[in-house]
Structure 1
């Protein structure tokens, strides 16, 4: 179901993508208990960053290196996990969105790597991971047109829809979502067995809040 293009393998040795498929899930208002936990977690990160540089956070550092390997300037186009960390470092804590988005952001902060969460019904056919060309672009969730030249991204048969930089407006989850796909942009240094255990933990947490069943896989 997912193809990794040769240019990705060539640019990023040992590239691995975590793939989780959720069925019969229910996206809703985030439970109050999780809202409180998420807020406390962000506050903990904020205080940790008072004495720690972002470059010292392992996942962030490794993904900055990956961006450089594809020809992307990580100081101009920041990996999404780093963008979240920078917001929190400024005291700009994330406000609740829904039970899917909030857990996705929580997990991205926990592991310090980019995550993507998409409504499966809005995607079509074979999925691919590739490095963008000059004419590749989409409308981003940040309100901007995103030029994907040299940026690692995911696409279906209708074109690009997501990336570890910022996702598009085409396939976000909502309270109407029943089946979802989650991409976990693993660090290349992780061993496959460790990655599978990590994906199982992620999926278990997601379904504890949102219900449904899941399937995990490491694509490499």
Structure 2
């Protein structure tokens, strides 16, 4: 089942924090004029009640995040640190739902954490989020704030349509950084018609489809477990739009939410 959503705007500025900025104004509808479209996405299983939010971003300028973003990021870090501790993450409901999901696919979530939990743990240990580029950095911040795993892909390197499926036994996946994983045939993955583009839901992005300085069109995946509420889905999608508008020179061409 596929539902298409028009772009909408909320009042947000670079000195705001997400908790104070959600839904402050009425939404303005946006009609995309881009000729680029989101690939078809198919779930190859239905029992998990998963959802995938996909945001198509065109005309992207990839650059360093800069000092203004660093200041904003620090304020978000402080808010996350005020809400969570390393000991409390074990019982955090949203993160726990992803661990349960991974166990159901034969994946050990203590060794293969979803990206949102891995990011939160770095923040709670006082570490940074690597400072890769404006698109990656801003989406990492959304992921950590809302506890929702987010993946990214350069659309020009995505072959055809996408599927959320189980990996094939012996299938190889090369994560960002070059490490290759040989799949056991049970893992949940996002794949195009040729290869895995995101391992897990979502743990690792592909080295081949990663965002680089040459990226002009990108896909942002928001991976929602069956326990994530409609409110959190809407809020995290809205924050994604807001952060893209504030921190990444780009056009948001389409937003879609898909359900297994």
Common fold by TM > 0.5: yes
Q: 1:89 to 1:198 in 2, by over 3 A?
A: closer
Give 4+ residue runs of structure 1 displaced > 4 Å after superposition.
Answer: 191-194
Q: Contact 1:200/1:216 (CA < 8 Å) preserved in 2?
A: no
Specify which structure has the higher proportion of helix: 1
Distance 2:177 2:97 in 1: 24
Q: Contact 1:141/1:166 (CA < 8 Å) preserved in 2?
A: yes
Q: RMSD value over aligned CA atoms?
A: 2.1
1:122-145: per-residue Cα shift (whole Å, max 9, x none)? 111111111113212211124421
Unaligned runs of 5+ in 2: 1-39
Picking from 18, 22, 26, the partner of 2:57 is 22
Using the size of structure 2 for normalisation, the TM-score is 0.75
Q: Does 1:216 align with 2:230?
A: no
CA-CA distance at 1:39 after TM superposition: 2.5
Q: What residue number does 1:76 align with?
A: 111
1:79-111: per-residue Cα shift (whole Å, max 9, x none)? 121112222232222231110010111011011
Distance 1:213 1:51 in 2: 35
- Between stretches 109-118 and 198-207, larger displacement belongs to 198-207
Written as runs of structure 1 = structure 2, the 5 A alignment for 1:32-51 is 32-46=67-81, 48-50=83-85
CA-CA distance at 1:191 after TM superposition: 5.0
CA-CA distance at 1:38 after TM superposition: 1.0
Q: What residue number does 2:18 align with?
A: none
**Structure showing greater Rg:** 2
Written as runs of structure 1 = structure 2, the 5 A alignment for 1:175-214 is 175-191=213-229, 195-196=233-234, 198-210=236-248, 211-214=250-253
Q: Does 1:152 align with 2:188?
A: yes
